[in-house]
C-alpha cells in the first residue's frame, strides 16, 4: 500500500478520539512500528502559521509520545482553533488523545 492509501485507511477505519482542537484517528499498524501523520488544513492561515503548528506537533510526538506508542498508525487532523493554542495546551491535548486511544 502507498503512504496516501495508508492515511486514508486510518482516516476511514480508525478509532476516533476528539479533543478541543484536533481529531485523532488510530489503527493498529501492519508494519509493527508506530507511525504518525498530520493533516493540517490552511483555514485561511499563512504557510508560516501552518508550518509552525506542524513543527510543534511533530516535536510533541517525538518527545512525549513516540517512544511509548505500541505499533499503530495515528493521524492527527487539526481544527481551526489549533492555530491559537500555545505549546502547553497542545501538549495536554495530544497526551489526552493518546491516553484515550491506548485504552
CATH code assigned to 3-102: 3.30.230.10
Share of the chain above pLDDT 90, in %: 64
pTM comes to 0.86
For the segment 43-86, what is each residue's pLDDT rounded down to a tens digit? Answer: 999 999 999 999 999 999 999 998 888 899 999 999 999 999 99
24 contacts 33 by C-beta, under 8 angstroms: no
Q: Domains of the chain: which residue ranges?
A: 3-102
Amino acid at each position: 500500500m502507498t503512504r496516501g492509501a495508508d492515511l486514508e485507511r486510518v482516516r476511514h477505519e480508525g478509532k476516533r478520539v476528539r479533543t478541543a482542537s484536533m481529531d485523532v484517528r488510530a489503527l493498529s499498524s501492519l508494519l509493527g512500528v508506530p507511525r504518525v501523520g498530520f493533516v493540517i488544513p490552511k483555514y485561511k492561515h499563512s504557510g508560516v502559521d501552518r508550518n509552525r503548528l506542524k513543527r510543534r506537533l511533530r516535536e510533541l510526538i517525538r518527545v512525549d509520545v513516540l517512544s511509548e506508542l505500541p505499533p499503530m498508525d495515528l493521524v492527527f487532523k487539526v481544527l481551526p482553533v489549533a492555530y491559537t493554542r500555545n505549546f502547553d495546551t497542545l501538549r495536554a491535548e495530544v497526551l489526552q488523545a493518546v491516553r484515550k486511544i491506548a485504552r
